[in-house]
Amino acid sequence: MFQGIAECENTYQQPEFLYVITCGTKNEKSGAPSQTDKFFIKEKDISYTTIRNREVMFRENSPDFIKFNHSEKKELRTELKFIIPYPVHMREGWNSMQDSLNFYLKAQQIKGIKQHPLLAPHCTGDGLKARQWDGKQYNDIECPNRDCDHRKGDTPACKPLLQMYLQLQWDTDKPWGTLPTPIVKYESRSWYNLTKKVLPFFRNLHTRAIGLGYDNYTFENLAIKLTLSKRKSMRGSYVPAINIQLDCNYIQFLKDQKEGE
């Protein structure tokens, strides 16, 4: 498995998680994204169904979060709070973040190539190296990155895959304050979410910690929140976008962590 993308930011072991956070859901008849203005909490297991001669991946809404997934409260469905559950940091670059954050290039299906028998991705890579399915086997290849034909066009097969592993938190004074607080996975295939929001957020926190003299910091138990909105894409359509920000006093967090060593 790859970690990082050359020219974007540059060994991976998937952490345990129980549920998946998605921006919207999929229409059961067409497989098209719907309700993309709301977060959903889904089961981790994937199922596939055939729609118009193509295999479409689905995740079921989690029965443990029925009230959440059916709520019409904008505050609840567009803003989620978390803590980072692992002692990750950026002192060794993005590799030392992998328990909570991973990103790499992924093409689930490349036109003209036979599907993998287990529906595994056709190609994954980091912008330098890649593993590509040729219809019979995987081959290790040089990754063309931006020059790859599969990254071009309006609907490229190859996009970034961002994964964050976080622990849900709820405001205890709200009606939904008793919902479960498991470790969940958030995924995005958006270059904007990856390069304009998530990577700069953690890079800035690392720079601040080192600049303040907290050389041995970690992000464990750091409170953050994701807010879901829409932004105008280069094609003129409005697409889901996230914002990531602190939900605590960062300097106090660093001080408390240092005192607890």
The residue type of 53 is N
Mean pLDDT, rounded, of the chain: 92
**Per-residue pLDDT at 29:** 81
**Per-residue pLDDT at 84:** 98
**Per-residue pLDDT at 1:** 65
Q: Is position 133 within any domain?
A: no
Q: Which residue has the higher pLDDT, 106 or 28?
A: 106
Q: Is position 231 within any domain?
A: yes
pLDDT digit string, tens, across residues 97-117 = 999 999 999 999 999 999 898
For residue 64, give the DSSP letter.
Answer: G
pLDDT category of residue 31 using cuts at 50, 70 and 90: confident
- Distance CA(189)–CA(22), nearest Å, equals 11
- Structure tokens, 28: 């059961």
pLDDT of 197 above 80: yes
Looking at the structure of the chain, the number of domains it has is: 1
Q: Is position 132 within any domain?
A: no
Q: Is position 210 within any domain?
A: yes
pLDDT of 9 above 60: no
- Strands 79-83 and 158-169, bridge-based pairing: antiparallel
pLDDT of 232 above 70: yes
Taking a C-beta distance cutoff of 8 angstroms, is the pair 94, 4 a contact? yes
**Per-residue pLDDT at 11:** 44
DSSP, collapsed to helix, strand or coil, labels residue 205 as helix
pLDDT digit string, tens, across residues 173-193 = 999 999 999 999 999 999 999
Nearest to 1 by CA among 14, 18, 15: 14
pLDDT category of residue 7 using cuts at 50, 70 and 90: low
Q: Beta partners for 125?
A: 105, 130
For residue 84, give the DSSP letter.
Answer: -
Cβ neighbours of residue 234 closer than 8 Å, sequence gap 6 or more: none
- Distance CA(139)–CA(232), nearest Å, equals 38
pLDDT category of residue 12 using cuts at 50, 70 and 90: very low
**Per-residue pLDDT at 258:** 92
Cβ neighbours of residue 42 closer than 8 Å, sequence gap 6 or more: 19, 20, 21, 22, 25, 59, 60, 61, 62
pLDDT, average across residues 154-158: 92
pLDDT, average across residues 22-43: 91
Domain limits at 216? 19-103+161-259
pLDDT of 40 above 60: yes
pLDDT of 170 above 60: yes
Q: What is the secondary structure of 92-149 as a DSSP string?
A: EEEGGGTTTEEEEEEES--TTSPPPTT---SEEE-SSEEEEE-SSSEEEEE--GGG-G
Q: Is position 120 within any domain?
A: no
Q: Is position 242 within any domain?
A: yes
**Per-residue pLDDT at 223:** 98
pLDDT of 53 above 90: no
Q: Which residue has the higher pLDDT, 169 or 7?
A: 169
Q: Beta partners for 21?
A: 41, 186
Q: Is position 154 within any domain?
A: no
Q: Is position 126 within any domain?
A: no
Nearest to 192 by CA among 152, 140, 238, 249: 238
Give per-residue burial for 216-237: e unless 16+ CB within 10 Å, then b: ebbbebbebebebeeeeeeeee
Least confident of 6-10, 72-76, 162-166: 6-10
Phi then psi for residue 197, to 5 deg, are -120, -65
- Structure tokens, 126: 């980091």
pLDDT, average across residues 6-30: 77
